[in-house]
Chain A
Amino acid sequence: MSKTVNGVVIDDTFAEAFGMSGTGIIITADTLKWARIAATVATGFGTSVIGCGAECGIDKELSPDETPDGRPGVRILIFGFSPDSLVPQIRNRIGQCVLTSPGSACYAGFTADKTIGLGKGPRLFGDGYQTAKKLGGTRYWRVPVMDGEFVIEEETGLTTDAVGGGNMLILGTDRAGLLETAEAAVDAIAKVDDVITPFPGGIVRSGSKVGAKYAGMFASTNDAFCPTLRGTVQKSELAPDTLAVLEIVIDGLTSKAVADAMRAGLKAVTDTGAKRGVTRITAGNYGGKLGQHHYHLKDLI
């Protein structure tokens, strides 16, 4: 039975999400501006594991008190299929995007028993001039660069209990109002720790179904939710007045964080959606057979 909250219909369905490996990294710089720049570039082209190799995003900004070096920072999260697939992603993203960014430094942003290399690759840029400084249980590498030293922690924490693909689909009768509502939901989700929304601005307009008519395509357009195909495809999910659908995908270091994020997102949509033309919220799943994590919308409102 679907439910209606503040005039928005919430389907009795669930978001199906997958187990992933994930890690957190803190990037600091002389100013928050430059920490943001390094973090934005390092998490770029990180929307979907299928094509990007990793799903990445900014979790939150950190005040100088919250970082190891007392400078402003940003915490990013990186998710991959497996720890092995994360290794080259971390090495390349940090090596190409953080090492290169003026004044940057890079630290573990997640504490766990399992660890994954952070500075193990980038330190070699030092060509033998790099030195290590071990303080307590933490080893920092100091790599001489042209504006001083790039400091990077040797390891960061790793979890294999991360969750990728928590999601919600927001349907509406007004494209601009729908986008505003989705933005509000992304903003609400951003306040939840340990989660990211990896797509552009946190929002996907090209939801996909599994498979395609073309060989080699793993995913293709979710025709049941394409408004321009309503009536012409075998099964359309859309009511006659639905003009557009936007999806929010959530990755989190823990299942609880993903559930909290979905709850925050749903609340933002139901609080303000109706007056912006939002009519319905549903979620993407594969019948429950593929993903280990199911988030029932009715449990989250």
Chain B
Amino acid sequence: MSGFTLRLKAPATERMTLSGITPAKLSALTAHEIARLDVGIEKGGLSLGDAFDISGSAGDVITIEGATSGLDFIGAGLDNGTIRVVGDAGSYAGRKMAGGKLEIHGNAAHFLASGSTGGMIHVWGNAGDNLGSMIPGDRFGMLGGITVVEGNTGSRAGDKMRRGVIVVRGKTGSHTGSRMIGGTIWAEGGIGPEPGLMMRRGTLIGPSVEKLLPTFVDTGKHDLVITRIISRYLKSALGDLAPKPMPLFVQKIGGDLATIGRGEILLPAA
């Protein structure tokens, strides 16, 4: 497995933005050009070579070692290849990612996978607020791809999400799926309070929900074909990372009736 390794030189003096630092981009540059890439956010500029020890050679993998939550936009714009983050990632990791794989062996901060259209993100730790959400200026949050978070997530996961799948092994925070337009969020550890605020369409799946909004209604027990399709799709896409299939019968909670109310929260039927 060839590729560059970026080892953070401690301590960082400012936040850094690693937008566009992708295997394809680094492979096309000379060592000198790579070292000169600006990753700072302040006026003076901060070059990649000043902030990181760069080793390895061109390849389809980048490994970021010693990563901290001060590194924002890791994997932003990634469309193929793999970025491995050893440590924590800052905010906006996987922003507008279109393909490839982003592995974060630690926690991710806020706005993970915002506006992403494809690819696979795997976080070994927790994710902060607004996972798969939109940022100001966007029309939509996550638009495709799969994100798997082994830990818990903060609030408003999937805000304005339109497509794609988010799998959370732990619990989601409050207002999961707020303003959701489509897509699927599967919280294996349970859905946090007041999910789906102003959601139009989309699917939230979990074993339980902490507190429902009054604008969601129980539509009863159903054996839905679509839950089988989602499970089989995730099994084929994620293998062992896929969530355990839902039971045959699910309780479908429909809402948010404050909007068009075509969204759904699916719980195991009691």
B167-194 interface code vs A (CB 8 A; 1 in, 0 out): 0000000000000001010000000000
Q: Say whether A148 contacts B224, CB under 8 Å.
A: yes
Q: Say whether A149 contacts B232, CB under 8 Å.
A: no
Q: Say whether A68 contacts B203, CB under 8 Å.
A: no
Which listed residue (A71, A136, A142) contacts B226, Cβ 8 A? A142
Q: Say whether B182 contacts A140, CB under 8 Å.
A: no
Question: B160 in the interface, Cβ–Cβ < 8 Å?
Answer: no
A70 and B232 in contact, given A133-B226, A148-B223 (Cβ under 8 angstroms): yes
**In the complex, which residues of chain A have a beta carbon less than 8 angstroms from the beta carbon of B230?**
133, 135
Cα distance, A270 to B120, chains bound together (Å)? 56
A69 and B229 in contact, given A129-B262, A131-B262, A134-B163 (Cβ under 8 angstroms): yes
Does more than half of chain A's interface fall in helix, strand or loop, or is it mixed? strand
Cα distance, A198 to B195, chains bound together (Å)? 52
**In the complex, which residues of chain A have a beta carbon less than 8 angstroms from the beta carbon of B28?**
none
Cα distance, A89 to B184, chains bound together (Å)? 33
Question: B6 in the interface, Cβ–Cβ < 8 Å?
Answer: no
Cα distance, A149 to B262, chains bound together (Å)? 13
Q: Say whether A71 contacts B228, CB under 8 Å.
A: yes
Q: In chain A, what residue has the closest Cβ to B264? A: A131
Question: A39 in the interface, Cβ–Cβ < 8 Å?
Answer: no
Within 8 A of B (CB), among A139-178: 140, 142, 148-149, 151
Q: Say whether B224 contacts A149, CB under 8 Å.
A: yes
Question: A132 in the interface, Cβ–Cβ < 8 Å?
Answer: yes
Question: A105 in the interface, Cβ–Cβ < 8 Å?
Answer: yes
Which listed residue (B182, B222, B223, B228) contacts A134, Cβ 8 A? B182
**In the complex, which residues of chain A have a beta carbon less than 8 angstroms from the beta carbon of B21?**
none
Q: In chain A, what residue has the closest Cβ to B162? A: A134
Of A69, A133, A140, which is in contact with the most chain B CB atoms at under 10 Å from its CB? A133
**In the complex, which residues of chain B have a beta carbon less than 8 angstroms from the beta carbon of A140?**
226, 229
A149 and B225 in contact, given A133-B203, A133-B230, A135-B230 (Cβ under 8 angstroms): yes
Within 8 A of A (CB), among B201-226: 201, 203, 222-226
Q: Say whether A68 contacts B224, CB under 8 Å.
A: no
CB distance from B56 to the nearest CB of A (A): 32
A132 and B232 in contact, given A149-B224, A151-B225 (Cβ under 8 angstroms): no
Q: Say whether A69 contacts B233, CB under 8 Å.
A: no
Q: Say whether B223 contacts A68, CB under 8 Å.
A: no
B155-167 interface code vs A (CB 8 A; 1 in, 0 out): 0000000010100
Which listed residue (B144, B201, B225, B262) contacts A69, Cβ 8 A? B225
Q: In chain B, what residue has the closest Cβ to A70? A: B228
Which listed residue (A70, A133, A136, A148) contacts B237, Cβ 8 A? A136
Cα distance, A138 to B233, chains bound together (Å)? 10
CB distance from B226 to the nearest CB of A (A): 6
Q: Say whether A132 contacts B182, CB under 8 Å.
A: yes
Q: Say whether A135 contacts B165, CB under 8 Å.
A: yes
**In the complex, which residues of chain A have a beta carbon less than 8 angstroms from the beta carbon of B226?**
133, 140, 142, 149, 151
**In the complex, which residues of chain B have a beta carbon less than 8 angstroms from the beta carbon of A68?**
229, 232
Q: In chain B, what residue has the closest Cβ to A142? A: B226
CB distance from B140 to the nearest CB of A (A): 13
**In the complex, which residues of chain B have a beta carbon less than 8 angstroms from the beta carbon of A149?**
222, 224-226
Cα distance, A151 to B232, chains bound together (Å)? 15
Which listed residue (A69, A131, A142, A148) contacts B228, Cβ 8 A? A69
Q: In chain B, what residue has the closest Cβ to A129? A: B262
CB distance from B65 to the nearest CB of A (A): 32
**In the complex, which residues of chain A have a beta carbon less than 8 angstroms from the beta carbon of B228?**
69-71
**In the complex, which residues of chain B have a beta carbon less than 8 angstroms from the beta carbon of A142?**
226
Cα distance, A129 to B224, chains bound together (Å)? 16
CB distance from B241 to the nearest CB of A (A): 15
Cα distance, A131 to B163, chains bound together (Å)? 12
**In the complex, which residues of chain A have a beta carbon less than 8 angstroms from the beta carbon of B163?**
134
Other 5 A-B pairs with CB < 8 A, given A133-B226, A135-B230: A69-B228, A134-B144, A135-B233, A149-B224, A151-B226
Q: List 18 A–B pairs whose Cβ atoms lie within 8 Å, in order of A's numbering.
A: A69-B232, A70-B228, A70-B232, A105-B225, A131-B182, A133-B182, A134-B163, A134-B182, A135-B230, A136-B233, A136-B237, A138-B233, A140-B226, A142-B226, A148-B225, A149-B222, A149-B225, A151-B225
CB-CB nearest 6 A-B residue pairs: A135-B233, A151-B225, A69-B228, A105-B225, A134-B163, A69-B225
